[in-house]
Structure 1
Amino acid sequence: MRRTTSAVLACTVTMSVAAAVTQSAAGAAGAASLPVYLVTQEGLTRAEGQRLADAFGIPDGLQADGGFEQVDATGFLAAPSRVVGTGQDEAGNATVGEALDPVALEALRPVSDAEALRRGDELVRLTGLSADLTATPRISHDVLSLADADGRLRSKHPLDTVVSYDLALGGLPVTGMGARLRLVVGPDGKVTQLSNRLRRVSRGAEVPIIGVDEATRACAALLGPDARQEQPPTLAYQFPALTARDASGSGAVRTLHPVYTCHAGSAAGKVFQQVPAVAGSGPSGRFTVTLSQGVVTASAEVSGGTGPYELSWASSSTALTEEQSEGARTSYARFSRDGAPSAERVVFQVVDANGLAATGTAELAGDGTTTAVTTPGGGGFGQLTIPRVDAGTETPVTAGGCGTASNKSANGFKSTLAAHGVTTQFDFRGNSAYESDFKDPSKGGHDSLYTDDVDIQWYSGHGGPGGFTFNGNHDDGLITPQDARWGNRDLEWMQLESCNVLQDVTGTADYFQRWDEAFAGLHLLNGFHTTAACGTGEGLGLTFAKRLFPGASGPALTVVRAWAAASLANEPAGRITRTMGPLKLVNGQYLWNYNDHFWGQGPVGPDITSPNGFWAVADEVV
């Protein structure tokens, strides 16, 4: 089993007042210490998974790594619809028109907060939290928001009731993919989604931690000279992805260490990566890169931390295969989209068994050899301002650990679709990913040759409410909502693994007015309200693509459900996805694509042009 880690594109970090006070005391500039926690059980065992399923009357969602992820293929995110007609799309694929049922929507009544909390208490009891680990519940709802043709919010409708838990260990917030406890209760009282990703721990020895001043210097070394730290680093415990083998309760993670989160800004936006709080606790690496006649070879040596290690590579020019992007060595023929390659940048990351990372970058202007060393840290958070069925992927980010993790996410999306006979028409990474590939020809772009010439598109990179970014200037390095007119040629489903692109900035559903003009036949826009984790678990791209088809996790999900389920399985707690789509008033009924499946896996609605309104669904507090 390969170990996995997370590197996050964008995130908003929150903590309780008590945790903040604890951090201030523990991180004070003098000698300070915190306990290291020992892992006594990695995730759930098979018996515990079955007991959880039986208690809530749901199928057993136990995963091999010890996590529990269950999604009801019809009950989760269910919104009232009715079939209104059939037809064909531009490629001759059969379509089934569905319309929102406004009467049934108005009559929908989620269960009470008290009832949902009762089910949540049952989940906590069955989980059996370790000493020093606390879980504080939060109540929210998956909310369907409706807007008019101008993107103005008209109404909101809670579809269910969500109980999620903020976790803390020894008074410090818990971060990472190995820390999620959540369930959703439908209007009929049935549990429609449940996540349980925890490990049991016991308190170990106290160890010295570095102070805030030293952590600030470590953040500066990790983030580079262009970043400015906007506040002192803050402490948390890092819970990496679960690593159990065959749900045995035993895995690679042995100890859990405190980390500092860096809070920095740059010309591109904000970055919140993490550095070890215990000096020398993480791994380190030294690597050599050679560029000769268009071929790049690299090799690395690692030490420190706790093995086994996950070693990964990313290139500023080339889409690396899974084989090329993992391991102590890599070799690839450099890709030059324009025929005049720029400097080659190679990113190397090592993550040890306990989830601690170190990251390094080497750059060559031309043929030659160079050697680089890693800097402690990585991952963390950041906010940056089937007739012919085919797919596209573009992954511009190559900096730091996000470069290697974005590569993994795109590879998973591409390989899963290929396994189901879906061709990837283009795959551009790093500097070869162009903004103009996503821009409408009326705006000077070429999306009719790329993004809007495929059925489904994957993007992994930096973003924010104002758009998403690219490394180069083809033609200006940023797609804004005003640049996009998707679906007027082919595109049905756009996925943006990018921070905050569908964020409700003002609390008035302003994402509708930002993105409404992008819908020129596009069925669904999948994005994030919050920041997005890059490559956690098996990778968002892989999980999303898998859930479009039937398999070990259950039946094929709709595109809306697959996006939400992939996030729940791969993102740290607190990350929130949002899906947006068009509405069209036809013969007194509002046609929509809410229940679209991928081609061949269930009904798909027709293209909707000149919408009369819009809808969106996301987890919200109302």
Structure 2
Amino acid sequence: MGSKTQTPRRRRRATAALLTAAVVAPLGVSAIAAPAGAAAATGADTAATLPVFAVRSSGLTTAQASGLGKALGIRLARGEDGSVRYAAEQSFLAVPTKTAGRPGKDEDGQPTTTTVLDVAALRRLRTIGSSDALRRAAQALATAKLTPRGAKASARNTTITAVDRRGQTTVSAALDTSVSYSFTLAGLPYEGPGAKIRIAFDGKGKATALSYSTRTVAQTGSVAVVDAAGAQSRCAEAMAGRVRIASATPVYWAPALSAGVRTIEPSLRCSGFHADGSRAQIVVVPAALDAQLPEMPPPPAPRPGPDRVTARAYGRADVGSEGTGPCSGLPHTGTNLASFNGQFSSRGIPVEFSWTDQNAWEQDFKDPAFGGDDSDWTDHVDMTYWQGHGSPTGFSFSGCSSNDDTFLSNTDARWGNGDVEWMSLFTCLVLASDSGGQRWWQRWGPAFAGLHQINSFHTVSYHSASHGGTYANYMLRTPFLWWNKPMPVRSAWAQASIDDQPASVVWASMGPIGPGGAVSMNDYFWGKGAVSPDVPAAAVTGYWYISGGS
């Protein structure tokens, strides 16, 4: 792509106005490296331009990582790409529980351990205030000489709420206080897994989690970008015409450091609605005028007919995955599901099915009582991972398949009366705290018929090609020295979402409460730690819900 001569800074906002009807107000200079006069030009004969930034360095050096760990009082391991991630084994998103009763076995013969919510200890939990957390984060970064220039810090709590069957709150508490930094380049949002600084603190001000993944960049020129109409068209094309585009917002996207990119170029954040009204996952595409969108992958071979169910039996740990891809305007679903599948198959854990596009069927998630056959598919494995468009009341198959309809409604789900323990729904808004006059427990509580957890999002999520693999790795990884220990399922979901999603995305998890306060929130995947027994639908006494920012 060719470079344009720099034009006065005062014309930058005109470019943003051309790109989207809603002008993005500049938030200051780059949080990673201040551009030396970011350029934007408009004119009758000149296409609008935005700066391009060259990557000068990526991640932290070993010395920088050591200095940051020392400033926070924690021991850090630096990744090969220079990123640093830390989650305290005992205190990361910890919820007080107590072991109760005798060990048991589940339907597969796997050992189970009953834990109950320690309500008294939960009520005693305290967290530091936002101002204190902001001060501690700023001080640690300054001590390590890693203060991000021009970044905006914000603080929020990770929270837990428990309700009884009538929806009366029995306990509500904050688990930590996290500080996240938001960045800009040339006055536009700069976001993504490669623009991440997040630090979480417990009630004593000790760091319980850290994500640090940034690049140092410098302006190296500029590139012609599409105008407002072109942005809408580009987004529609990228989503295969399957999504009604609500906004095409100019941003700078920061891929994961492992991507090894050499430049950061302007992009478009595409958001909208699917044909059935479900919210589309946000897709990010290049904004450059001459950019070429990658070709959509070809549709998979048709799914076998009525005899498609392969011989499967209870008695072993296994998983499955499904998702809608190009047929719903999501280009990376196949890659993401493959990343999830690969983590399990490489460890000898069977992936019993992986259906994409027109082969992903609503009836695979629907209970037989409502005409589905989840007992052959998503409720016949221990964990199912899904990617697609969603809403607070379900998720969409529209444009892809209609077997036996195009939307899995919360009222069609009864999960866990077969085998599934953990339903992992990488989609939008499924666990929104409130929607349409119904709270999370009212919408999804009836789906728990032995299911241990639903892991999903309170907000709209960003489309990803790697979330599934990151999530699976956190659950299954093998310890090395003092780190790399496997995480509980919900903690793995939270950390994968923190790694993969911008700070604005709020992840969420929920599960049932059984007799005596029995909970499943601390489950590990089979063979990696303790797992709770099933709570049949008739024995559910309430529900728990945990959510936090990415």
Contact preservation (8 Å) 1:29, 1:211: no
2:357 to 424, 430, 438: 430
2:74 aligned residue: 58
Shift in Å, 1:113: 2.0
SS in 2 for 1:38: strand
SS in 2 for 1:159: strand
Q: Does the aligned pair in 1 maintain the 2:327–2:358 contact within 8 Å?
A: no
Corresponding residue for 1:134?
150
Q: Does 1:258 align with 2:239?
A: no
Between the aligned partners of 1:452 and 1:467, the Cα distance in structure 2 is: 17
1:236 to 251, 255, 280: 251
1:274 Cα shift?
4.0
What does 1:11-30 correspond to in 2, within 5 Å?
17-19=25-27
Partner residue of 1:602 out of 519, 524, 529: 529
Q: Which residue of 2 aligns with 1:336?
A: 303
Pick one of 560, 567, 571 that aligns with 2:497.
Answer: 567
Match of 1:528 in 2: 457
- 1:98 aligned onto 2:115: yes
SS state at 1:77 partner: coil
What per-residue deviation string (whole Å, max 9, x for no partner) do you get for residues 343-379 of structure 1?
xxxxxxxxxxxxxxxxxxxxxxxxxxxxxxxxxxxxx
Q: CA deviation at 1:36?
A: 1.8
Measured against aligned partners, the alpha-carbon deviations of 1:557-599 in whole angstroms (never above 9, x if no partner) come to 111111111112222332221110001233xxx1111111111
Higher mean displacement: 70-79 or 550-559: 550-559
Quick one: which of 47, 55, 70 aligns to 1:39?
55
Look up the equivalent residue of 2:255 and give its one-letter code.
P
1:549 to 2:476 alignment: yes
Letter in 2 for 1:314: P
- Cα deviation, residue 207, structure 1: 4.2
- Structure 1 residue 427: Cα displacement: 2.2
**Contact conserved, 1:80 with 1:100, CA < 8 A, in 2?**
yes
Look up the SS of the partner of 1:425 in the other structure.
strand
Q: Which residue of 2 aligns with 1:292?
A: none
1:485 aligns with 2:493: no
Which of these residues, 490, 500, 518, is aligned with residue 591 of structure 1? Answer: 518
Matched residue of 1:134: which SS? Answer: coil
Residues 528 and 162 of structure 1, relative CA distance in 2, 3 Å threshold: same
Q: How far has the Cα of 1:457 moved from its partner? A: 1.2
My pick for the range that moved more, 110-119 or 266-275, is 266-275
Residue 27 of structure 1 contacts residue 235 of structure 1 at CA under 8 Å; is this kept in 2?
A: no
- Aligned partner of residue 229 in structure 2, secondary structure: helix
CA distance in 2, matches of 1:339, 1:509: 37
Structure with bigger strand share is 1
Shift, 1:115, TM fit: 2.3
Residues 136-157 of structure 1: per-residue CA shift (max 9 Å, x gap)? 1111111001122144555421
Aligned to 1:115: 132
Residue 278 in 1 paired to residue 293 in 2? no
1:314 to 294, 297, 311: 297
Match of 1:439 in 2: 366
| AA in 1 matched with 2:501 | E
Structure 1 SS opposite 2:113: strand
User: Is the contact between residue 152 and residue 513 of structure 1 (CA under 8 Å) also seen in structure 2?
Assistant: no
CA contact (8 A) 2:25 2:187 kept: no
State the one-letter code of the partner of 2:429.
N
If the length of structure 1 is used for normalisation, what is the TM-score?
A: 0.74
Residue in 2 that maps onto 1:499: 428
- Letter of the 2:367 counterpart: D
- Contact 1:73–1:556, Cα closer than 8 Å, also in 2: no
Deviation at 1:108, TM superposition (A): 0.7
Higher mean alpha-carbon deviation, 176-185 vs 197-206, is at 197-206
CA–CA distance in 2 between the matches of 1:66 and 1:508?
45
Q: Aligned runs of 1:146-545 on 2, under 5 Å?
A: 146-151=162-167, 153-225=169-241, 227-231=243-247, 233-243=248-258, 252-269=260-277, 270-271=279-280, 272-280=282-290, 282-283=291-292, 314-317=297-300, 334-338=301-305, 387-399=315-327, 402-403=330-331, 405-470=332-397, 471-506=400-435, 510-536=439-465, 539-545=466-472
Q: Match for residue 372 of structure 1?
A: none
Letter in 1 for 2:79: Q
Higher RCO (C-alpha 8 Å, min separation 6): 1
- Residues 533/620 of structure 1: CA separation in 2 closer, same or farther (3 Å cut): closer
Q: TM-score by structure 2 length?
A: 0.84
Cα deviation, residue 208, structure 1: 4.0
CA RMSD of aligned residues (A): 3.0
- SS state of the match for residue 548, structure 1? helix
| Counterparts of 1:597 and 1:283, CA distance in 2 | 43
Q: Distance in 1 between matches of 2:531 and 2:66?
A: 35
Matched, 1:68 2:76: no
Please state whether the residue corresponding to 1:63 is helix, strand or coil. Answer: coil
